[in-house]
Structure formats: C-alpha cells, structure tokens
Structure 1
Amino acid sequence: MGLKAALSKPFAAFIVKGINKWKKDAIGAQKETLSQLIDSAKNTSFGKDHGFASIQTYDDFKRAVPIRDYEELRPYIERVVAGEPDVMWKGKPLYFAKTSGTTSGVKYIPLSKESVPEHVKAARNALLTYVNETGKTGFINGKMIFLQGSPILKKKNGINVGRLSGIVAHLVPGYLQKNRLPSYETNCIEDWEQKVDAIVEETFNEDMTLISGIPPWVQMYFDRLTLKAGGKKIKDIFKNFTLFVYGGVNYEPYRAKIEESIGKRVDTIETYPASEGFIAYQDSQQDKSLLLLANAGMFYEFIAADEYYNDNPLRVSLEDVELEKNYALILNTNAGLWGYSIGDTIKFVSKNPYKILVTGRIKHFISAFGEHVIGEEVEHALLTVAKEEGVGITEFTVAPQVETPQGELPYHEWFVEFSTAPKDLNAFSKKVDEALQKKNIYYFDLIEGKILQPLIIRSLKKDAFVNYMRSQGKLGGQNKVPRLSNDRKIADNLSSFIN
C-alpha cells in the first residue's frame, strides 16, 4: 500500500465524521446557509434591489426574490460579465463557466472564491466516503483519468472563462496531479475524436485504476481502446481498473454496454455537479440515491414539477419536501444566483438523510396531448423491458409525431440505437408501451381513449447518435442527448439514421 493510500483511510474517517454531523441536521444547515447568503449579499446591487437587509425568514425571502431562469436573470448577469463588481455577489467572480442553453444561447455562470472550493470539496468527499465505506484504496496508487473539456481559458473583462470541466482541471489538488491523465497538452485538443485517440495512445500502457466522465463519451474511449488492443476487454488492458465515477446522465441505459466493454462489474460513484454548484453525490455502494449537500454554500428550493408552469406555484424549502414527488430544483448560491431555476427535476427517496434521484429536465418532457411524460418514465419503461428481453440499448430519444396520414392516430416516436436488437421489434415496442402506460396514468388514458396509438420504435443504425452529435458540433465533453422533447427538432434530424 502506498503512502497516499495509507493516509487516505484516517483522513476519510475524519471527513465522514464531519459529513455525518451536518447530515443529522440538514434543515439547520440550510437555514444557516440562507442566513449567511443573505448577509453576504445584502450590499450588492441585487441585495439592495430585493431588500435583503430586511429579510428575516424564508417567507420574507420568497416574497422578495422571485423564481427566474437564466434569461430572466440576464440583466444582472450581463453586468457581472461586463466586469461590474458587487452586482449579485460581493466582488467579481473568479471564473465564468460557459454553457450552451437551448433557449438562452451561450450562458455565463459565475463561480466565486466562495463557491469554487465547494466544487473541489464535494468531488474529494465523494471519493473519501467511498474509501471509508469500502476500505478500498487501491485506486489511489494508480493513474486516474478525467474525460473532460479543454482546460484552455479565455479572458472576458479580466475574468477567466471556460467549460466547467476545463475549469475543474485547474483545481485538481497537487497530491493528485502526478496520478492524473491525460496530459495538459492532450487535454487542450479541441476536436473530441482527435482528443480521444490521443488519450488512448497516452493511457494504453498505463496502470489506470479510476476512470471518470459522462458515460457515452467514456464508452467511445473504451471502444477505441478495445480496437487498439485487438478486441481485448478493458479489464485485460487495465488490470487494476476498479472504480468508475460518472455524472451528467442516468447511467442505467449505458450500464450493460459499458460493463460488457469492461468485462466485469466495477464499483461506480454517481455525482451531480453542475456549473451552478456541486449538488449531490452517491455516498454508499448499497444505495443508488445521492446525498443532497446541505452545507455546500447553496440554499435549495423546490417546486412540484406539475405546478412549475402555473402562475403562482408553491415553492418550499428542504423542510417541507415530500418523498417520491417530482420537483423542479431552484438554487440560491454563494456565487450570486438567486431564485435560479437550474432546469433539472429531482425526487426525494429519503429524508433521513436527505437523498435524491435526478429524474430529468423540466423542459424535457412530452405533453403534446396533456400526457406530461417525463424522462424517468421513458427510461424506466424501456430499460425494464430491455432487461427482461435481453436487449441492449446504446442511446435513445423520444418525440411526439402529430402529423400523421389521414385516419391515423398520432403517437410517440422512439428513436433507439440498439447494441443488441430485439428479435421482434413490434412485440418489443408493445411491451414498452404497456410499461409506459403503467408509469403514467395520463398516457394510459390517451391510449385507452383512442387519442393516441401505441408508441412506435425506430431502430437506428450503429453510431447514429455519435454521428448526429458530430453533425451538431456537440461531440464529447459535457454534451448530452436529451431523452425526450416536446418538438421534432432532434427527431427529424435522426430520421435519416433509421435502419
């Protein structure tokens, strides 16, 4: 056992002791966080405009600060981007995380000197809780790879700008730098396919023990490693590879194919980092849910997803959430985002401690006929049947088809790239439809009432989604294919890939 591995166990025990302390009083931690946030920002432009100096309670806060998305906060954010200090948070941000919004174009999310350490701490603690629970430290002695965006940062009015994953590359603690791959030069390659090829060359003969990234892009890395190795499994290329850390998408659609590529099941840790803050991580190998970080410089609010688009939806704090209810997540952060609708939906599966599952995106749903089908439901329907039938799924997305020939009912059109195709696609589609009806009563009623016909699955050619993302200039990095859309923009582009 190396020195770092030996030291990690007592350090992990110390860190977990602190985590357990705030876990027992997450409500208290959230109340304290809100108080600190308001006090820190009361002299900013936003704080003065919203009367922070007179806010005493959460009810006061709700009356003073409305829920806004990026577009609605843009007037304030543009002042921050222009270099004005003390607008939404004291001083100026350390970084802007540059993201691509579906409705807002390029978005600049501020990261402050208070928020940046929380990102680093959460990533570290996810690994330390794993060490503390399992006692496994072998991965610490080997090489670790983080498949991420370019670390090249640009300046905008004196502030560094880059993708979140590229910014994070600059924040890796010194004690991990010698273990970390790829090299800085390789990480700077902008073209994703060239970058993956370079990473393969750089890591092929290394002792890789931990691999981290968004599952579809990790799969691309694995495919190219296997090709170079003449068909060998990843376990035979990296004999000490034992831990896969991922985030950004639900792992389950990718699990079977990734495990097949590896050749064995390895431990996994799911994380929930966003540009706006590191929100949660999986803290136990016995439980797939994620521990909500109640003392990470963010005050959370929640709006029931089915009320989100109402004129005056009820918003609640952690104290009043209900289990198994789908919520839109609202953030107030120590980087100056206030009443900010991040766009994600979550549900609580435990309140002791507070643990969540990420269920989708508030704008990623299908409700062309009032069915309001969400990502969690389509994933459950497809994956349950696929497991029963021995079918492998590479990627998929769903959209409504309203414009049908005269006399034919509209339907949900599923575009699926199979790694192992069903023997009978029509029979498979029927089972998926029945599974979805069981998950969503509104969809059931529309099928029963002959408003919709059962869903239709289109089988796509191999690498259809990779080629689609390439055509959109969104190959690799933090880019993800939406599971479902209420329009046909993605579906129409995928039609040319149908088998």
Structure 2
Amino acid sequence: MRGQQQRVLADLVDFNSGTEFGKQYGFDRIRDIDDLRKAVPIQDYAAHAPLIERTAAGEPNLLTADRPVVYFTSSGSTGAHKKIPITPRFMRTTFFPFYYAAWAPLLESFPDIAQRPDAVLNLKHDPLSAPPTTADGQPHVGASQVDFGEKFGEPLSAELGTAAPWATLPVDVAPDDHLEKMYLRLRLAVQSDVRCLIGINPAMIAAVPYQLELWWDRIVRDVRDGTLGGVPYGSPDPHRAAELERLAAYFGVVNPSQVWPRVRALFGWTTGVASLYLPALRERFGAGVQALPAPVAASEGPVGVPLDRHGSAGSLVVSAAVYEFVDADADLAPDTQTLLPHELEVGREYHVIFSHVGGLYRYAVGDVIRVEDLVDGVPRVAYAGRANRSDAVGERLRESQVVRALRTALDATGLGISNVACRVERQAGASHYVFAVAPHTSWQAAESSRFAVLLDAALQRESADYRRARADRRLCAPALRLLDPTAFHQDWHAAVGSGIRPTQVKDRLFRQDDRLWQRLTGTTPA
C-alpha cells in the first residue's frame, strides 16, 4: 500500500511540475509525502477555485498539464455549483480503474442484469443533447450526464441501463423538467422485467414507490392507450394496463415488488440516513432484495470501492490518489497534522484529504469516512457523512453520531422510519433539537415519548460535547415532530420540481434553513 501511494505521488508531481501550481509549490523538489505536506497546505474548493476559473476560461497549464475536456458539477453542502476539472489523464489513471471495479460486485452477484438492456432501471442516467458549457467551451455537467465512450474513447464504460428504451427519451421534454423525465422513464419501465435499480443517491430509489402511487392512474392510462405523456408512442397495451389495475386493486397499495416481481438488487449508498430507512424500503421492492453499496466517492475523486458484498464499505483506492486523513472531531486548517492510510484505526472516523493527477492537491473533500476493518492491510472505509457539524451551543454533533443515536433508539423500540431530519430551535429562552420523523408505520404516543428519551441518552453517549451541553443546560431534551409518512418524498419532489437535478437532492440530516424546514414540516419554525 505504501509503495503504491508513493508511485501515485511521484506520477502526479512529475506530470504537473511545470504547471503554475506545480511551480508555486515546488513540485520538482517533492520526493515523498512529507515533502508534499511541507510544501502544500490543506485546501478546499475555494482555495482551488481561482485557478479552476482561469482554467475554465481557457488558460492552460495552471493546475494540470492536461487540458480538461469536461467539468463535473457538484452541489456540495452549500448548494453552490462547483466546477471540477476532468482531464483525460485523470480519467485514465484515476477514474476508470476505480469505475470498472465499482460495478464488479453487482455484475458478479447478479450476472443476469446485464443480459438485457431493459433489465436495469438506472435512475441517475440523464444525458443532455445540449449541455451547458464553461467559457472554454467544455461541458459543465454531472458525471451521470457524460458519455464516457464518446469523451474518453471508452466504449465499455456505458453504465448498466443506459441502453434501455427509457435511457434517451423519445419525446421532447425541457432539460430542467426532471419530474416529467422521471415520470416518462417510469411509465416505460413498467412494461419491462426490471431486475435492478441504480440510484447511487438512495433518495432517488426511495422516491420510486411514492412516484408509482402518485402517478399510477396516469401510468396505467398511458400504457393502455399506447401513449407516452399523452403523445402516441408504440402500441396500446390493454393487457398490461389491466394487469397493473388488478395488482393495485388486490394489494391496495402500489409496490415496486408487484410491478417488477423479479427485482433482485438496489445499488446506491447504504450508509448515513439511508441506513435507517433502507430495511423498510427494501421490503417494498421484494423479499430478499439486496442493497449493494455504491462507492465512497465524490465528483472530485474516488475514496473507497466495494470489492465484495460488504453492506456498507469499500477498500481504499490506493492506486487512484494520495490519501491523508484527520480525526473527524478535529477542525481542519491549512497546517493540520494528517495521518496516512496505514495509520488509521478500525472503528474511528476521519476527514478525507486527497491529491491526484487531475489537479486537486491536499484537497479537503468535505466528507467523513469510518474505517470498518482492514483487508490485507488496506483500510476498508464507509461514508459516515458530511464534515459539517450541527453546533448551536457547542455540542459539535456530526451526522454519523446522530445517525447512530437514531439507530440505537429505533432498535430499542422496534420502530421504523421513512426518513428523518433535525434542527436546533430556541423556545422560552432555551435551545433544543427538534427531530422531524416520517414514521414507517403509526407510532403510539407512549412509543414516541420513549423514543425521544432513548435518543437523548444515545446522543449523550455518542458525543461528549452534547453531553456537556445537556448537563450545563445549554440544551434541553430533544423534541419529536411526527410527519406524514410521505412528507420527505413530497419535499424531495418539491426540490426536484424547482429544477435541481435528482442526483443532487440528497438526504440532509441537519436542516437549519427556515424556509426549507417549513416546506418539509408544514410548520413555522420557533
């Protein structure tokens, strides 16, 4: 592992030593990781942004010796659209080896899903005929909107499901009308024997049962009439329409397991908030359906890739980037001391920092990972949440701490949820956390009260800062606000309906924005 990391470092500084960044930080004098640490401070996107913007305006040789041919967009935690420069060299040496490995467990476990183009419903695939561009004329799009075969000469890179009848919609629809595009794809997919759904962002998969119910009458009508969004398409299929109507009448609720009885796998992130609702969600897709974890990665670069059926974690991609880590409880600064992969401890959580040949150096990606175990000395890591904390009165809560506390309370009570979010509110001069919970089934008053007590106790065990805030009465006991089971799905649809791409509307545990909280809960914040 150490030898591989040294080779990655040597390659990236050699390739980019003549760039403006390389000259500024003396890449020609960097021989090992200690040299890199001394020469280059830890940096975030804002620190890289000036050179990225100049690159996007057409200026060469700034961050990388290779010219970007596309810029990935990423919403990050702030919602602002980043421009991540993607170069041929990055794709060849960093991205594609990781990318191909990411699909291996799915294909090895369920080889039948690759035998027909319509066996996979790829929810994230969203090609654009006229993508937006940067000033240098290159596309500025999401990774799921790029044809890797065309851009990088990799015809085998086409994802599962991208040749399905619904992959390229045969009717005109506005590029930002994402809900209509989702409807049209579902309407086409109900006439196929779907075996697998790919979402990466699990909120997209969680939306499917809700969407089937929401659009059911319209779907059945389109199938019966041979129309697609009311436009003639194919032949009328009254037999399938009648079958769908019988299913809905018999079961009373439309589940994906009835529409696609041979679904076998869901592919997406399985950690974070999703880990709390995935057990109930899988049931709606059928008994025995497996949830396989998507890679631990960001638009900026890969971190971990599952190489087997582990439910949440993947091996660190030691051939892709030079990795450094900082304890998750620490605050990042340009000169923060870092740990290397061989210094990580199982069960601990860390900030991720990486450097790669694509032009990001000692880049703090804003994610926290948890080390689950070691495989042949290589850390196997799971996504633990964003690096941002909820810190109203010094409690410094991380997403993973709250998720674990929620899981403890759910397990102790036997309750289930469809989703959850929280925020700090101040009432009668005191602050407390309010948890908005969409229950999977109805909760009794006594169950809700016990859940809140157990959650408070679990939070105190997870976080010493939260425990002190409770002891000092800076925080009162948390409150519970039970929502309609579909509240988060409605909120997700509202966000997508506003023009945000579905891949970027992710589960957000901490929600301090008053307007968005009111949209979710239907109440005015205190």
Do the structures match in fold with TM over 0.5? Answer: yes
Counterpart in 2 of 1:416?
A: 437
Counterpart in 2 of 1:150?
A: 126
CA RMSD between the two structures: 2.8
Counterpart in 2 of 1:223?
A: 210
Counterpart in 2 of 1:382?
A: 406
State the Cα distance separating 1:217 from its structure 2 match.
1.5
State the Cα distance separating 1:353 from its structure 2 match.
2.8
Counterpart in 2 of 1:202?
A: 188
State the Cα distance separating 1:148 from its structure 2 match.
1.6
Q: 1:476 to 1:179 in 2, by over 3 A?
A: closer
Q: How does 1:78-477 map to 2 (within 5 A)?
A: 78-103=53-78, 105-117=80-92, 118-132=94-108, 134=109, 136-142=110-116, 143-148=119-124, 150-152=126-128, 153-156=131-134, 157-167=136-146, 173=156, 180-181=163-164, 182-185=166-169, 189-213=175-199, 214-225=201-212, 227=216, 229=244, 230=248, 231-247=253-269, 250=272, 251-271=274-294, 272-296=296-320, 298-309=321-332, 312-351=335-374, 352-363=377-388, 365-401=389-425, 403-406=426-429, 409-424=430-445, 425-472=448-495, 473=498, 474=500, 476-477=502-503
Q: Distance in 2 between matches of 1:445 and 1:189?
A: 50
Shifted more, 236-245 versus 428-437: the winner is 236-245
SS, match of residue 341 in structure 1:
strand
State the Cα distance separating 1:200 from its structure 2 match.
1.1
Q: Distance in 2 between matches of 1:151 and 1:475?
A: 12
Measured against aligned partners, the alpha-carbon deviations of 1:146-178 in whole angstroms (never above 9, x if no partner) come to 212632123321212211221267677377678
State the Cα distance separating 1:442 from its structure 2 match.
2.4
Q: Distance in 1 between matches of 2:71 and 2:107?
A: 32
- 8 Å CA contact 1:42–1:52 kept in 2: the answer is yes
TM-score for both structures, normalised by structure 1? 0.85
- 8 Å CA contact 1:381–1:436 kept in 2: the answer is yes
Q: 1:223 to 1:121 in 2, by over 3 A?
A: farther
Instruction: Count matched residues.
Output: 467
Q: 1:309 to 1:115 in 2, by over 3 A?
A: closer
Counterpart in 1 of 2:237?
A: none
- 8 Å CA contact 2:257–2:263 kept in 1: the answer is yes
Counterpart in 1 of 2:32?
A: 57
SS, match of residue 216 in structure 1:
helix
Letter in 1 for 2:95: H
Counterpart in 2 of 1:9?
A: none
State the Cα distance separating 1:395 from its structure 2 match.
1.8
Q: Calculate percent identity across the aligned residue pairs.
A: 21
SS, match of residue 306 in structure 1:
coil
